[in-house]
Chains A and B, each alone.
Chain A
Amino acid sequence: GAGVSQSPSNKVTEKGKDVELRCDPISGHTALYWYRQSLGQGLEFLIYFQGNSAPDKSGLPSDRFSAERTGGSVSTLTIQRTQQEDSAVYLCASSLLGQNEAFFGQGTRLTVV
């Protein structure tokens, strides 16, 4: 696609439920990043993929968070047993060979009620 696409754009879920957030990077981009932005806050790094491998998972807040990437393309961020503090905008970005600027998607706004 022309840009990074994330779905859904908005997600409201009940506390304790699992959610999946999807990211379609720009075609050909091998590097993919997930960030989280809480209301009025900066960007918190979650995980980095190079191809299908995740050499840096250091930002995942807890074992309730996991992510995978298949075919060097689409990535899914899964949050199990959601908590209210998980409410945030989850941003995905991709870049070409990890050597250029990262292009961001519009984000998924997650609200846990």
Chain B
Amino acid sequence: AQKVTQAQTEISVVEKEDVTLDCVYETRDTTYYLFWYKQPPSGELVFLIRRNSFDEQNEISGRYSWNFQKSTSSFNFTITASQVVDSAVYFCALTPYNFNKFYFGSGTKLNVKP
């Protein structure tokens, strides 16, 4: 069975603070893919990153960084020096090797206050 858990329902930070969004997944597949999506108030989901199960190298993109650890089945997302525009709901997702379905976590709502 596939499952993605985002235990943090809502997080509030003050601008310029760093914040980490947690994602824990369950799968029996050896090949799978992990994703993060951002859903701003406008509603459209915006793709942020994809990572395959064989690539545990962490990635940094500007103020965003991702920490993938297979040992703990986690794929955490850190925003450094948060900004008000980062306010959104963030979804972590998992798909098996055949991409027949994206399993989404319940999302974490991030509020960045000025």
Could you list which residues of chain A lie within 8 angstroms of chain B, going by C-beta atoms? 31, 33, 35, 41-43, 45, 48, 50, 55-56, 59, 89, 91, 93, 95, 98-107
Mask of B67-111 contacts with A, CB within 8 angstroms, 1/0: 000000000000000000000000100000011111111110000
Contact of B102 among A33, A55, A107 (CB under 8 A): A33
Interface residues of B in 32-76 (CB under 8 A from A): 35, 37, 42-47, 50
CB-defined contacts of A59 to chain B, threshold 8 Å: 101
Chain A, residue nearest B9 (CB): A40
CB-defined contacts of B50 to chain A, threshold 8 Å: 100-101
Q: Kindly state the separation between the CA atoms of A104 and B99 in the bound complex, as whole angstroms.
A: 15
Q: Kindly state the separation between the CA atoms of A93 and B47 in the bound complex, as whole angstroms.
A: 11
Contact of A45 among B37, B45, B101, B106 (CB under 8 A): B101
Contact of B100 among A43, A55, A104 (CB under 8 A): A55
